[in-house]
Amino acid sequence: MLRPLILAAAVSLAAALAGCTPSAPGFHSTDITGADYGKQLALKDHTGKARTLADFRGKAVTLFFGFTQCPDVCPTNLATMAEVMRQLGPEADKVQVLFVTVDPERDTEELLAQYVPAFDPRFVGLHGSLEETAAVARDFRVFYRKSGDTSGNHYTVDHSAGTYVFDPEGKLRLYVKHGETAENIAADLKRLLAGR
């Protein structure tokens, strides 16, 4: 009778002590480590060079899907990422920000070359054909579609607004919701760069 009571007391004590031990702080963004999507990226950058995720191995990579004529979400995201880079200081050289256009009909290489690096010269714009864009978006589970006046060139594009983050080993690790602060994103990137 005494032995089960001692065992129960020991288990309770262990549980109580575990509750007192501070756990390691988590990411501010959603941890999607082990996700079975977001593995393929084969597009051209805004200089015409063919790019894949492997080209950026050794750096943390952020990947956002948008379009240059976006009135709010896309420029806000890129401005936030520019602030993230500023906050990272010298560590920003270990981060690559990628912007994939979901409007390849209007977002030419030349336009991307003007638009994306205007936020930070290290940022890279990526584009592909309609089919290549659709394939990459499908692999990343990104939604996009033209809306408004789709008969001409004055349409808009509805699209997913989150950012994917890869660690320096090229593994998909985080999903950053639109509107996350630069401070929180910078903190998450620092954790990834530290090998966490």
* Average pLDDT of the residues in 20-28: 61
Residue 73 has what pLDDT?
A: 93
List binding-site positions for Cu cation: 70, 74, 159
pTM for this model (two decimals): 0.85
How far is it, in rounded angstroms, from Cα 57 to Cα 185? Answer: 20
**Which segments are annotated as binding site?**
70, 74, 159
Q: How confident is the model at residue 39 (pLDDT cuts 50, 70, 90)?
A: confident
Query: What CATH superfamily classification does 27-193 receive?
Result: Glutaredoxin (3.40.30.10)
Q: Which residue has the higher pLDDT, 117 or 8?
A: 117
Question: Which among 120, 119, 112, 116 has a CA at the least distance from the CA of 93?
Answer: 120
With bands split at pLDDT 50, 70 and 90, how would you rate the model's confidence at 10? very low
Q: Which residue's structure tokens are 């602030």? A: 83
d(CA 10, CA 1): 15
What pLDDT does 17 receive? 44
Burial 47-76 (b: 16+ CB within 10 A, else e): eeeebebebbeebbbbbbbbbbbbeebbee
Summary mean pLDDT of the chain: 89
Q: Are the beta carbons of 121 and 93 closer than 8 angstroms?
A: no
Contacts of 174 (CB under 8 A, 6+ apart): 27, 29, 30, 31, 32, 164, 165, 188, 192
